[in-house]
Structure 1
Amino acid sequence: MTSHALIIFSIVVVILYLGQSLIIPLMFATILWLLMRKIRSLFYIIGLRDKWFPKWLKTILSTTILFSTVWVIGLIFEKNIQELVRYYDVYNKNLTAIMKDFDQISHYKIEDLTRSFNSNDLISKYFTSALSSLQTIISNVVIVLIYMLFIIMEESSFKFKVKALFPERAAYDERIEVIRRIEKAITNYLGIKSLIAMVSATICYLIFALMGLNAPFFWALLIFMFSFIPFFGVLISSFLPAIFAIVQYGSYSESLIILFSTGSIQFFAGNIVEPRVMGNTMNVSPIVVILSLGFWGFIWGLPGMFLSVPITVIMVIIFSKFKATRGIAILLSERGEIEH
């Protein structure tokens, strides 16, 4: 029995790894679709019923709002990248000065260091790598949006397919309830997490702007995005703008201010505000979150880290519905409390 489970697990891991170019965009498209449904539900909350405001019109408007938000963020993001490129010579000059300072406080001479590389080549290398990564991100965003459109078109026939798969009323209701629980858990998690991350990123943006850090929106957006990576996201998004500040200013005082302020804000948001607001929304053990982060990061890299928590939440909900896997759901949960 154990050997069969290991074989199945190995096959699943291989499929996940080899099929990541298809599965990852599909999962992000599904998350965007859930966000679209959340936006669409707001129209019902404010009293716009289907009789006067048809559901298809709500879907189009919600999708337009979501797509427009992504488009505006993309435009501002591109503008910030251009700003970073514009100050290329300044970064090169400051990096050279930093390397000379390094020469003065160490036994490793700058002449030896420049034999391996020069600052100009180093910055060119990383700028080229960054621009290549941005092109990849943009192309993936387009693929995700296309997938999302197809999911929206399939939405109307989804319940009919579930009904065909489970013709008995009890089985059908049970499957629909599982799907609703997954949707509620994911949208609540994303909604609360996004709100807290947005507030943190906005405060950090104001700090960056006041200090004159180039491309403040770019760094604030990184803080927002990395907030979805448990534990390590705060460290990464705090150190990146701090390290860049050294290259921009050519000194360490501004870098330390940025590191301390952004780190403190994110620590407060993630460890004090978020647990109080989030409550038991995720119902996932912290050690499981860490293990999930490592596993999905190993399989899918950075996208896997972003998806690790939603995937784990889905696993807890699905496993809790079957007697054979309910024990696994209890182990994955935060306090051993699961809904049957």
Structure 2
Amino acid sequence: MSPQGTSEPSLNNIALLAIVMGFFITGLVYGAPFLIPIVIAALITILLSAAGDRIHRLGLPEPFATLTAVVLFIVLIIAVFNILSAQTNDVARAWPGYVARFNALADQVLGWAGPQLAERIRQSIREIDILNRVPGLLGTAGGIAATLALVALYIGFLLAERGRLGPKIDRLAQGPGEARQIKDAIEDITESVRRYLWIKTILSVVTAGISYVVLKALGVDFAETWALLIFLLNYIPSIGSVLGVVFPALLALVQFETLWEFFVIAVLLAGTQFIIGNVIEPRLMGRSLNLSPFVVMASLAFWGMIWGVIGAFLSVPMTTAFVIVCSHVPSLRWIAILLLADTRAVAGAEVERQAA
């Protein structure tokens, strides 16, 4: 057989894979309104299942343990909503003072730029009319509420379907071996994503709690809201930690008359993010998140481009699931090897279950 003949099948496979990926990405873009609620519901269901299993280990029967996890989740959502609602009026009252302080700081900074450049910058700032954008933002509130209701509905059905997936796979598969392979892939995905979400949630709570103590002790306005925002931003790899420091520090810059509060908050919050994100989190994650740092950042850019801010939150779980699927398909195993940080997680005909 000629060298050209031996390379032809691999080239055909790569071409076929490129075509399939093109259709796949197109489906992700145009199917976002349908797919995003399902993905969010699936991830929350995995997290609730993990919480339910831990409650079950305490001695509560499994159905009641899952129900307890759901009730706690609902209570948490209500508490978050109450915090945001209670501070909305406070933000409105404090906003004029922030604007005046910001203008004063801007005048000081622009004074160093020279009169002509300063006037151009002021003109650009005046052209940004935030008030005209508010109705559009409020207009999306109805869509967000509808999406949340749809997610809640999906979660209910997914929790009800937990015990029915195995028998369905047995009937759909062409044999016990294929059924076992499919179940192994689903189990690997579920366990890896569950471990990632559970550890990430616990560390996000700790990070938000420490940040709240720092902000409250220094008298920063809306410490509760900032703590909630820091908790959510921690799910975005790398960039979320930076934003969790920048936003509260900027508020301190316009809230206080002196700069020392700004520097103290920036240093303490950055130190908290660094210790938890770069020292504690890698030790707890271990090999459950077996993605190279470049792949994490590339997945953040990809899913952010496809699904926006929500895609940034979902980037790591989605990429982890994709890698595990590739590692279970022999013809796609090379993709998993390229994306994994430790290639020993892919060996032979089956994937070693080191990510679980």
1:217 to 221, 224, 229: 224
Which sections of structure 1, spanning at least 5 residues, go unmatched? none
Which has the larger displacement, 274-283 or 162-171? 162-171
Is the 1:95–1:250 contact (alpha carbons within 8 Å) kept by the matching residues of 2?
Answer: no
Deviation at 1:133? Answer: 6.4
> 1:232/1:114 Cα in 2 relative to 1: closer, same or farther (>3 Å)?
closer
> 1:328/1:118 Cα in 2 relative to 1: closer, same or farther (>3 Å)?
closer
Deviation at 1:139? Answer: 4.3
> 1:276/1:116 Cα in 2 relative to 1: closer, same or farther (>3 Å)?
closer
- What does residue 44 of structure 2 align with? 32
- Mapped to 2, the partners of 1:139 and 1:126 lie a distance apart of 21
CA deviation vs aligned residue, 1:185-241 (integer Å, no higher than 9, x gap): 111111111111211111111111111111111111121111111121111111111
Is the 2:233–2:240 contact (alpha carbons within 8 Å) kept by the matching residues of 1?
Answer: yes
Which has the larger displacement, 130-139 or 56-65? 130-139
For residue 343 of structure 2, give the secondary structure of its aligned residue in structure 1. coil
Question: Does residue 1:172 correspond to 2:179, yes or no?
Answer: yes
Alignment of 1:86-97 (within 5 A): 86-97=93-104
Deviation at 1:282? Answer: 0.8
- What does residue 157 of structure 2 align with? 150
Question: Does residue 1:289 correspond to 2:301, yes or no?
Answer: no
Is the 2:245–2:270 contact (alpha carbons within 8 Å) kept by the matching residues of 1?
Answer: yes
Q: Which letter maps to 2:24? A: V
The count of aligned residue pairs is: 334
> 1:259/1:132 Cα in 2 relative to 1: closer, same or farther (>3 Å)?
farther
Question: Does residue 1:11 correspond to 2:23, yes or no?
Answer: yes
Q: Which letter maps to 2:20? A: I
- Mapped to 1, the partners of 2:329 and 2:73 lie a distance apart of 35
2:57 to 13, 29, 45: 45
For residue 320 of structure 1, give the secondary structure of its aligned residue in structure 2. helix
For residue 100 of structure 1, give the secondary structure of its aligned residue in structure 2. helix
- What does residue 240 of structure 2 align with? 233
1:327 to 334, 337, 348: 334
2:343 to 321, 336, 339: 336
1:70 to 68, 74, 77: 77
Q: TM-score, normalised by structure 2?
A: 0.85
> 1:211/1:137 Cα in 2 relative to 1: closer, same or farther (>3 Å)?
farther
> 1:134/1:58 Cα in 2 relative to 1: closer, same or farther (>3 Å)?
same
- What does residue 189 of structure 2 align with? 182
- What does residue 320 of structure 2 align with? 313
Deviation at 1:174? Answer: 2.5
For residue 87 of structure 1, give the secondary structure of its aligned residue in structure 2. helix
Is the 2:53–2:66 contact (alpha carbons within 8 Å) kept by the matching residues of 1?
Answer: no
Report runs of 4+ in structure 1 exceeding 4 Å deviation: 109-119, 125-139
Q: Which letter maps to 1:19? A: G
Which has the larger displacement, 136-145 or 180-189? 136-145
Q: TM-score, normalised by structure 1?
A: 0.89
Q: Which letter maps to 2:172? A: L
For residue 213 of structure 1, give the secondary structure of its aligned residue in structure 2. coil
Is the 1:25–1:144 contact (alpha carbons within 8 Å) kept by the matching residues of 2?
Answer: yes
Is the 1:204–1:262 contact (alpha carbons within 8 Å) kept by the matching residues of 2?
Answer: yes
Which has the larger displacement, 287-296 or 68-77? 68-77
Question: Does residue 1:207 correspond to 2:214, yes or no?
Answer: yes
CA deviation vs aligned residue, 1:65-86 (integer Å, no higher than 9, x gap): 2222222122212223332222
Is the 2:249–2:262 contact (alpha carbons within 8 Å) kept by the matching residues of 1?
Answer: yes
Which has the larger displacement, 158-167 or 30-39? 158-167
- Mapped to 2, the partners of 1:246 and 1:295 lie a distance apart of 33
Is the 1:293–1:305 contact (alpha carbons within 8 Å) kept by the matching residues of 2?
Answer: yes
Is the 1:201–1:223 contact (alpha carbons within 8 Å) kept by the matching residues of 2?
Answer: yes
> 1:25/1:226 Cα in 2 relative to 1: closer, same or farther (>3 Å)?
same
Deviation at 1:122? Answer: 5.2
- Mapped to 2, the partners of 1:164 and 1:83 lie a distance apart of 58
Q: Which letter maps to 2:25? A: V
- Mapped to 2, the partners of 1:294 and 1:42 lie a distance apart of 34
Deviation at 1:111? Answer: 5.9
Is the 2:56–2:65 contact (alpha carbons within 8 Å) kept by the matching residues of 1?
Answer: no
CA deviation vs aligned residue, 1:21-79 (integer Å, no higher than 9, x gap): 1111111100111111112212331233xxxx3x4433333222222222212221222
> 1:284/1:113 Cα in 2 relative to 1: closer, same or farther (>3 Å)?
closer
- Mapped to 1, the partners of 2:253 and 2:138 lie a distance apart of 21
- What does residue 270 of structure 1 align with? 277
Which has the larger displacement, 13-22 or 3-12? 3-12
Q: Percent identity?
A: 27
- Mapped to 1, the partners of 2:245 and 2:140 lie a distance apart of 20
- What does residue 91 of structure 2 align with? 84
Is the 1:29–1:147 contact (alpha carbons within 8 Å) kept by the matching residues of 2?
Answer: yes
Which sections of structure 2, spanning at least 5 residues, go unmatched? 1-11, 346-350
- Mapped to 2, the partners of 1:180 and 1:86 lie a distance apart of 51
- Mapped to 2, the partners of 1:170 and 1:280 lie a distance apart of 27
